Amino acid sequence: SRFLRKPFEFSRQLLRVESCSITELQSLIPLAWTSLTQKLRRAPGISLLDQRKRFSTMPEIETNERDSELFSPPSDVRGMTELDRTAFKKTVTIPVLKVKKEIVNKLMRSLKRVALQRPGIKRVIEDPEDEESRLIMLDPCKMFTHDPFEKAELSILTQLNVIPQISEYNLELTYENFKSEEILKAVLPEGQDVTSGFSRVGHIAHLNLREHQLPFKHLIGQVMIDKNPGITSAVNKINNIDNTYRNFQMEVLSGEENMMTKVRENNYTYEFDFSKVYWNPRLSTEHSRITELLKSGDVLFDVFAGVGPFAIPVAKKNCTVFANDLNPESYKWLLHNCKLNKVDRKVKVFNLDGKDFLQGPVKEELMQQLGVSKERKHSVHIVMNLPAKAIEFLSAFKSLLDGQPCSSELLPTVHCYSFSKDADPAEDVRQRAGAVLGMSLEACSSVHPVRNVAPNKEMLCITFQIPASILYKNQSMNLENHEDPPIKRQRTDEGFSEEKTQIASNT
C-alpha cells in the first residue's frame, strides 16, 4: 500500500508522496474526502489542533451513504457471472493517527469508538516512515463530524502526549476484505434481492435461489464457500419436495460433490447422505421442544422419523421409542444414527408407510399399553412431522382400537405438523384436523407456531389427546351417527379420503 501524510488543512506541501501531484491524489480519494478537501482548502486558517473547527457538519444519512460507497466493491464488477477475485481490488483513503508503539494498547481502549471496525482489516499498522511509531486506522464516518474526538478521548491523547493530528493512508482492498452480501450486492442487478443466507448442513451450504439469481448461481455458490469457513460445497434446490421419499433434487453450484455429511444438533450427531434424505436445520428448536415434553419412561411413536432428530434425543431420556420412515435411505441412516448415539437398544425402527405403521406396530403397542394397569404413570406421545400431508394421516386413528376405552388421562397425545397459508393459520389447522377426525378440536387442542416457511406460509404443530370416542371402535360407531354436519361438509369439500398414496418422511 502506498502511504502519504497530509494534514487536514491540506497545505500544498506533502510530507511524503511517491511522485504524486495534488491532482493525482484527489483521483485516489473517494467522493466524501474530495468534497471535504475542497471545502477545507477555502479555509486555510483552520488549525490542526482545533477539533471543534476542523470539520464541517454533514447530515448523518449522507455520511452513511459515503461510508457505504467507500467500502463497497468496484462498480465495474456489476453483471459478473464467473467469479474473478482480482476484479475486486480497490484503493481507499483512510484517516490515521500516528502514535508511539509503546502506548498503542493503552490508547486503543480509549479510541474504540472512533477506531475503524472493519472485519479483516488491521486497526493498527506499522508506520512506513518511522519504525518506532504505529498508525491507528480511524473510522472515516466518525471523522466527518463536527467533533471527531470526544472530550474524554482528547483528554487521553493529551495525557499520553499524542497530537490529535490526522493523516491519510491509502489502503488497498481486495476480494478478501468484502463481505458476501457486499460482493453479491455489487454483482447482481441493482435493486434485486441478494442471497446471503443459506441452510448449513455440515459442510454443505443449501441455497434456495430465486429466478433472477440463477444466471449468477455458480458465482453465488463460490462466494458462499469462500466466505464461510468449513463450507466446501454449495447446492441449490431445483424442485419442490413432492416425491415419495421427501428428498429433493439439487444442483451442485460450486465446490465438491460429496453429499455425505455430519451435523451436530442439540449435542447429538447425525450422519446421512443429504441428497437422499430430508434434513432441515431450522427445526432444531422444535426437536428440543418436543423432547422436553417427555419424561423418563414415556413412550414415543415417531411416524415420520427421518434420520432421527426426534427419536434419538427422546430415547436418551430413557423413553421407549418406535421410529418409522418409508424412505429406505432414511431408515438406513436412522439405524446408523441410533447406534452412533448409543440408543439402538431403546429405539425400534420400522420401514413402513405411515398409515401401515399406525395401523400395525402402533396399534399393537397401544393395545398393550392401554390395557396395562390403570395406575400407569408414563404417557404416550405420537409425533407426525410431515407438514404437507400429516393431517390426512389422522384418519388412521378412527376406530383403531378394540375393546373398552381406557381412562382419559392414559389416551395418547398427538403432535401433528402442518403448513398453512390461511390468514388465521392456527384456526385453519384446527379446522382441517377436526375435519379428518370428524370432531371439533376447538376446545381440546393447542397450536404452536414452528416457523415461517415462506411469505404467507406458516408451519405449525397442533397438539391434542385422541378422544376415546375416536380411537375405539364401539365408541366411533356411536359417534358416526352424531357427527357434526358442518364438519362433515368440510370433509367432503376438501376431498379427504381414508386411502392415501404412500408418501415419505420429514424430520
Task: Provide the annotated binding site.
Answer: 287, 325-326, 353-354, 385
Known binding residues for S-adenosyl-L-methionine: 287, 325-326, 353-354, 385
Question: Distances from the Cα of 279 to the Cαs of 89, 136, 241, 287, 299, in angstroms?
Answer: 39, 47, 12, 12, 24
Report the distance separating Cα 347 and Cα 339, nearest Å.
10
Report the distance separating Cα 187 and Cα 28, nearest Å.
23
Which H or E run includes 99? strand 90-100
The arrangement of strands across the sheet holding 90-100 comes to: 124-127, 130-137, 90-100, 166-173
Long-range pairs of 261-267 with CB within 8 A, sequence gap ≥ 24: 261/201, 261/202, 261/203, 261/204, 262/202, 263/201, 263/202, 265/309, 266/291, 266/313
Strand partners, 122: none
C-alpha cell at 469: 370416542
C-alpha cell at 282: 431450522
Instruction: Let me know if 30 is exposed, middle or buried by CB neighbors in 10 A (0-12, 13-18, 19+).
Output: middle
Q: Are 247 and 278 in contact (CB under 8 A)?
A: yes
Q: Residue 265: name the closest of 207, 202, 210, 352 by CA.
A: 202
Torsion of CA 41, 43, 45, 47, to 10 degrees: -80
Which H or E run includes 24? helix 22-28
Q: Are 87 and 77 in contact (CB under 8 A)?
A: yes
